Amino acid sequence: MEEGEQLRQSEHALLRLAGEARSKVQSHHALRHIKDGFMHRLLISQEARLEMDAALESQGESRLEGNQTVRLSLFLGAFYLNLIGALDNLAWTLQYEFELFDGVQEEEPGRRNSIGLFKPGFLEKLGALNPDLASGLRRHKPWFLEVTSIRDPAAHRIPPGFMTGQIAPDDIPEFERLMAEAKQSFADAEQMDRTSEEGDEFDFDAMMAEHKRFMNLIMRGYELRHEAESLSTFSPLIVKFSPDGHEIAWAPSLLARDQNRFIGASTLVLSALVHQNT
What are the structural domain ranges in the chain?
3-159+250-274, 169-229
Separation CA 29–CA 51 (nearest Å): 32
Model confidence, pTM = 0.77
- Measured CA to CA in angstroms, residue 10 lies from 13, 14, 35, 76, 250 at distances of 5, 6, 18, 20, 22
Q: Is the pLDDT of residue 145 over 70?
A: yes
> In the 8-state DSSP scheme, what is residue 25?
-
DSSP state of 248: E
Using CA atoms in the order 173, 174, 180, 182, what is the torsion angle rounded to 10 degrees?
A: -160
Task: Write out the H or E segment, with its range, that includes residue 182.
Answer: helix 172-198
Greater confidence (20 vs 68) lies with 20
Tell me, what's the pLDDT at 30? 96
Tell me 243's DSSP state: T
pLDDT digits (tens, 9 = 90+) for 165-178: 777 778 788 878 88
For the chain, the average pLDDT equals 86
